[in-house]
Structure 1
Amino acid sequence: MKRIIIIIVVLVVVLGGIAYVLNNNKKKAQETTDFIAKGSGAVAVKTATVERKEMNLDFTANGNFAANQELNFLAENSGRVSRIFVDEGDRVSKGQILARIDAEIINTDRETAEATYQNAVRDEARYQSSFKTGGVTQQQLDQAKLATQNAKLRLQASQRRVSDAHIKSPINGIINKRYIEVGAVVAGTPGTQLFEIVDVSKLKLKVNVNESQVANLKIGNTVDIQSSVFPTDKFSGKVTFIAPKADETLNFPIEIEVANNFKNSLKAGMYGTAVFKFPKQAPTILVPRTSFVGSVSSNEVYVLNTSKNTAETRKVVSGRILGDNVEVLEGLKEGETVITSGQINLTEGTPVTVIK
């Protein structure tokens, strides 16, 4: 009997607690409802005053430096490496000899091509003399001339191969990697990788900007460049590429050519910051982005009628999007009040109450 009484008491306490919580929640919900729906069904909204402000178009973008030129140098001839004149880290100039391939077979081919060419020249001369006396036909003379021309082309090709036995740098830069050793046999087809050459006298800073930012950029714009690794050094860049199409994130890739300092401090792969600065803009009407019904492209806002405390629709012409604000070219006057929240519950003439 005593146990039953205890159970009943516990149940009463639990049910009382539940009733208290439900009643408390009901009061809070009623308070919220009363707050949102003040003044005989008026919709609670937030507002902002239409102001004419100066626009600041400056912005920054972060990215990575890439080498201005980066070349994986391949062998054009087959043979054995007989000399290497540079090592990793060495600075090289365009046309400088980097290594030499044993040209014994190549020289033999050139000598053979030289002899064939000289023989073709003598044959053409004999055919030319015989043609004058009627000893050969015009067709035979033409064939002799063609043979001479073909022999000359083969000689030029063999001379080029002899020249290519001296491996020369095609660009100015630094030897980043060396893939060959003296005595190694390289193949011309497909080409064996010999050196990786990187030019960091100039670099490319690759960044992404959004649609409102890219609208203010042009090829050739000068840009200040900052590096967190070298905060006291000053770098300057120039916009060399602006993507004509946005990527999958709806941003536009930009490339900025950056002149390295005399110490070549900047390295490919480092982080950099581009600081885009623009001339001072004339003051213009700005409203919060949230003022627009649906999206900025709707070109429609709700304006507060302060004498009637009602919402009125207004067609406007939007301009540039500047962060959380939007430029309005037509449709609003300075000093008017636009509604920035609660538009989903509004129609033309809906009574509203402003949340302070």
Structure 2
Amino acid sequence: MEEEKDATRQEMAAEVSRVIRSERKRGRAGLFVWLIALMAVLALVGWWLWPDDGEVQWQIHNLDRGDMVLTATATGSLEPKSEVSVGAEISGLITQVLVDENDQVTEGQVLALFDTDELEVALEQAEAQLALSRASVAEAEATLDEARVDERRISALRERGTTAQAELDSAVAARKRAEAKLAYARASVRQAEASVLQARTRLEKAVITSPINGVVLQRSIEPGNTVAASFQTPVLFLLAEDLKAMELHVSMDEADVGMVEAGQTATFTVDAWSGREFSAEVLKVHLYPSVDNNVVTYTTVLSVDNSDGLLKPGMTATATIETGRREDVLRVPNMAFRFTPPAADGSGGGLFSHPGARAGSNRAGPSNTVWVLRDGAPTRVVVKTGASDGRYTELPGDELAEADEVITGMQSAVIP
């Protein structure tokens, strides 16, 4: 019994020894991992703080003088020089449509015809009423003549004293009634003549003609359609004058509209003719602005020569208007204003850059700041700027001189 207890104690002691040895090995492995992590952090901090002695290769531009062409760009659409909506002033059934879209038309050419049966009947009725009114005039004239004769005869008898005054008064009244009836009959004639004219005009309006020489852009009716012109004139055709002369309407930004005026030349492009430029000339700038999403623009109209017929109404165009020229001016590339060296020592920037690469919270300066290479180091210079053509900006001040080395970029660092 005692031997069994001794064996059990020995086994328990051996198990405890194994557990203790395992825990010691695990502790040494964890300590080793922590030591490796600490060494990595120290290496990263050392690299972070280690000075960078690399030499930066700057991209520079020597300031020069040259000519600048100033432009303003805007987008818009091509439109006919003149559009005319041809409508109907009468209601009725369309019996014939004699033109189609894209057809060339001349002034006075018949475009469509209404059914004229009712209009012709109305004209005949008006003419018949006019005839009746003229007959009434003739009858009233005869009655007046008769009344005048009676009045003269009774007046002579009254002068001789052979008739009563009452008969003379009755004759005068009859003559006046005859004159009134004649005036009424003549007024009826004028009314009937107006009715005839109205009926004839409505009959003429049943023939729709072109008011201009041009082309049919849109046709809105077909034979058999019924047109109702009760409240407003329905548009049957949309015509445009000769498309050899067109207009380009563009929306000019308020920042550029002050430089645009009538007579300036321009070029524009359309998607239908990629790579080809068309010429135009500014006609006028509308004074009334258009506001869309708080963006203010002014409609600018340009004249376009479309003699070759390549341009179509409604095409979207991008126009570049020449607003002025600058000759022999000191100029700097616009990219120089967008460049800021990452650090005074020229070290590279970025997420893992040295602290010196991000030193200074306002290194860029105002928008008219450039960096000039002086004594091998970049120097910030705030300059006075003038006009810009998109690539270069004029320098009217004396902060810089011709041949000064302006930094426009930076190449990769070279470590000696």
TM-score, scaled to structure 2: 0.56
Aligned pairs for 1:294-333 within 5 A: 294=366, 319-323=386-390, 326-327=393-394
Structure 2 segments unaligned to the other structure (5+ residues): 1-22, 149-171, 339-363, 409-416
User: Quick one: which amino acid aligns to residue 89 of structure 1?
Assistant: N
Offset, 1:124: 7.9
Distance (Å, rounded) in 2 between the aligned partners of 1:7 and 1:333: 64
Distance (Å, rounded) in 1 between the aligned partners of 2:330 and 2:221: 66
Question: What per-residue deviation string (whole Å, max 9, x for no partner) do you get for residues 70-94 of structure 1?
Answer: 4554332111122221233322223
1:282–1:179 Cα change, 3 Å: closer
State the match for 2:93 in structure 1.
80
State the match for 1:218 in structure 2.
261
Q: Secondary structure of 2:90's partner?
A: coil
Identify which of 169, 175, 190 aligns with 2:216: 175
RMSD: 5.1
1:223–1:155 Cα change, 3 Å: farther
Q: Secondary structure of 2:203's partner?
A: helix
Identify which of 103, 108, 118 aligns with 2:121: 108
Question: What per-residue deviation string (whole Å, max 9, x for no partner) do you get for residues 244-290 of structure 1?
Answer: 3475545544222212225x232223344545457764334556775
Distance (Å, rounded) in 1 between the aligned partners of 2:200 and 2:69: 63
User: Quick one: which amino acid aligns to residue 68 of structure 1?
Assistant: K
Identify which of 195, 203, 206 aligns with 1:165: 206
1:336–1:153 Cα change, 3 Å: farther
- Correspondence 1:282 to 2:327: yes
Identify which of 292, 302, 305 aligns with 1:259: 305
Distance (Å, rounded) in 2 between the aligned partners of 1:333 and 1:144: 98
State the match for 1:350 in structure 2.
none
Structure 1 segments unaligned to the other structure (5+ residues): 36-45, 342-356
Identify which of 30, 34, 56 aligns with 1:7: 30
Distance (Å, rounded) in 2 between the aligned partners of 1:21 and 1:294: 35
1:225–1:123 Cα change, 3 Å: farther
Asked if 2 retains the 8 angstrom alpha-carbon contact of 1:186 and 1:192, the reply is: yes
Q: Secondary structure of 1:6's partner?
A: helix
Offset, 1:11: 2.4
Identity of aligned residues (%): 23
- 168-177 vs 220-229, greater mean Cα deviation: 220-229
User: Quick one: which amino acid aligns to residue 237 of structure 2?
Assistant: F
Which one has a bigger Cα radius of gyration?
2
Distance (Å, rounded) in 2 between the aligned partners of 1:259 and 1:60: 20
The aligned length equals 317
Identify which of 201, 205, 208 aligns with 2:248: 205
Question: What per-residue deviation string (whole Å, max 9, x for no partner) do you get for residues 298-350 of structure 1?
Answer: xxx8999x99x999989x6x654443655466776855989999xxxxxxxxx
User: Quick one: which amino acid aligns to residue 24 of structure 1?
Assistant: W
Asked if 1 retains the 8 angstrom alpha-carbon contact of 2:119 and 2:202, the reply is: yes
Asked if 1 retains the 8 angstrom alpha-carbon contact of 2:330 and 2:402, the reply is: no
Q: Secondary structure of 1:100's partner?
A: strand
Aligned pairs for 1:49-68 within 5 A: 53-57=66-70, 63-68=76-81
- Correspondence 1:195 to 2:272: no
Distance (Å, rounded) in 1 between the aligned partners of 2:397 and 2:179: 85
Offset, 1:12: 2.3
Offset, 1:119: 5.9
Distance (Å, rounded) in 2 between the aligned partners of 1:233 and 1:323: 21
Aligned pairs for 1:6-45 within 5 A: 6-27=29-50
Q: Secondary structure of 1:56's partner?
A: strand
User: Quick one: which amino acid aligns to residue 306 of structure 2?
Assistant: N
1:220–1:10 Cα change, 3 Å: same
Q: Secondary structure of 2:176's partner?
A: coil
Q: Secondary structure of 1:88's partner?
A: coil
- 155-164 vs 226-235, greater mean Cα deviation: 226-235
1:187–1:322 Cα change, 3 Å: same
Distance (Å, rounded) in 2 between the aligned partners of 1:148 and 1:293: 91
Distance (Å, rounded) in 2 between the aligned partners of 1:157 and 1:26: 100
Offset, 1:100: 0.5
TM-score, scaled to structure 1: 0.64
State the match for 1:269 in structure 2.
314
